[in-house]
Amino acid sequence: MIAVFLEWLFRGLGLLVILGVIVAAIALIVLYIIVIKKAIFTKDGTEKFSKIERTTATRYLKAKRNQGGVGLIASISFVCIMLAIAAMIIIMSIMNGFRGEVIRLTIGSEGHIYVNLTDPSITEPEIKALESRLDAIPGVDEAFQYTQHYTGVQANGVFGLGQVIGIRPDVLQSYDFIANSVVEGSLEGFGQGAGSDRQIAMGSRLAANLGLQVGDAITVYSPRVRTTVTGPQPIRKNYTVGAIFSVGIITTDLAYVYMDLEQSTLLFEGGEVMGKLQLRLESPDDVDRLEQPVYDALQTSASLSTWRDKNAATATALRTEQIAMRFIFMIVVIIAAFPVLASMIMLVKNKSKDIAILRTIGITQGGILRIFLMSGAVIGVLGTLAGLVIGTLFCLNIGLVQSAIEGITGQPLFPEDVYQLAGGIPVKMVWPEIFGVAFWGFLISTTATLIPALSASKIDPVDALRYE
């Protein structure tokens, strides 16, 4: 009962937080529109962002130490914005890289979209025509027919379980994930040979468990049976190990056996054509976008499933982590903008006499507003641009950074045998996200100047000069 109450309590608090964020965002947008409209679209007939306004805004940022240290705080604000933007770009890029590696290791040699044709009368030429239509879809890397069976394998008197995948030789040879991971033998002879000399490829761990090397024989069992004088006997056939691969994924290296599609169809389906297709995409994240185009290209009844359906827990965890971390770093940028707000408040307080004088010589409220908006915007724009450059350079030279850290510590930062990261720290720079971060930094830092700038424009010159 208490657990249920706490669950509903946390859900309610979460909804309140989300609602509060939405209300605050709407309020900021409204405030931003009102102030910017007043600053830019005033009807006083004066020039907007004139030279005197730009010069005054620049001089205010160079305030001396005896004027409250506004210049020092402005410098600190610049550094805070710069570091926050750079950190957000770096962390997001590394997280995108790790996410890609997790997806790669989770999917392994599996496909991204699976098509199961429900028409039992479909023929081989029709399937090949269907493959061509699917290959033509933008975003689809390759579409091919396959079979997949969990069955028994035996060699050297040792029995094991394997996942036998039937695939055409040209498809397997063009699949870099397997082709570049061959540690013994070669895929050039895959599917070739006659009788028991026909070559197959298998995972390194499964080969080690069965005591197999390239050139050895392996027996593959079929769930189909045949009737003999001694009773039903399982159908089995001998093959020759032509290649052994090691991709670094336990499930793949421990169970996968690749067999020529024609031989697999004969062994497991008795030669009957199975309407199963596998699609590999240019990006695993495109599965939702490409489901409808795939349906349209099929032009026949079929059912679709994706890698997310098969790995629902992993896909959900990755998506939740992606959203949560971006939300956290957006808050970090907001926190980094507080020094901008503090410096602008101090600047307005220290310059109240100057504001009164400017008002008496003809500067309008809109002009005062624009002066302080420019002062704050300069900090935000320069800090954002500097953070953008630093973050991008860091990501582009992540290998040098990793080498430097490892040289200082004397220890590998991400051991290859633990993290399966042969190429070092993975980084994937998504440019729309990077420019989105830059826009967010500019927006937050500019928004932080709105309230002080608005209060500065409201200062009454008579009250400001009364006690001077």
Least confident of 40-54, 202-216, 326-340, 355-369: 40-54
Distance CA 26, CA 397 (A): 39
Task: Give yes or no for a contact between 213 and 185, defined as CB atoms under 8 angstroms apart.
Answer: no
> In the structure encoding, which two tokens stand for residue 294, read together?
């795939």
Mean pLDDT of 170-179: 86
**Helix (H) or strand (E) segment spanning residue 68:** none
Question: For residue 256, what are the β-bridge partners?
Answer: 163
pLDDT attached to residue 3? 47
Average confidence score pLDDT of the chain: 78
pLDDT attached to residue 26? 64
Least confident of 31-45, 177-191, 244-258: 31-45
Q: Is the pLDDT of residue 83 over 80?
A: yes
Mean pLDDT of 93-121: 79
Distances (CA, A) of 216 to 165, 173, 244, 252, 414: 19, 21, 11, 20, 37
pLDDT attached to residue 243? 92
| pLDDT tens string 359-393 | 777 777 777 777 777 777 788 888 888 988 998 89
Question: For residue 158, what are the β-bridge partners?
Answer: 155
Distances (CA, A) of 442 to 57, 201, 209, 314, 376: 18, 55, 59, 34, 10
Task: Give yes or no for a contact between 275 and 121, defined as CB atoms under 8 angstroms apart.
Answer: no
Mean pLDDT of 421-425: 64
Distances (CA, A) of 242 to 184, 197, 202, 210, 259: 8, 9, 8, 15, 10
Hey, which of 237-241, 378-382, 430-434 has the most confident mean pLDDT?
Answer: 237-241
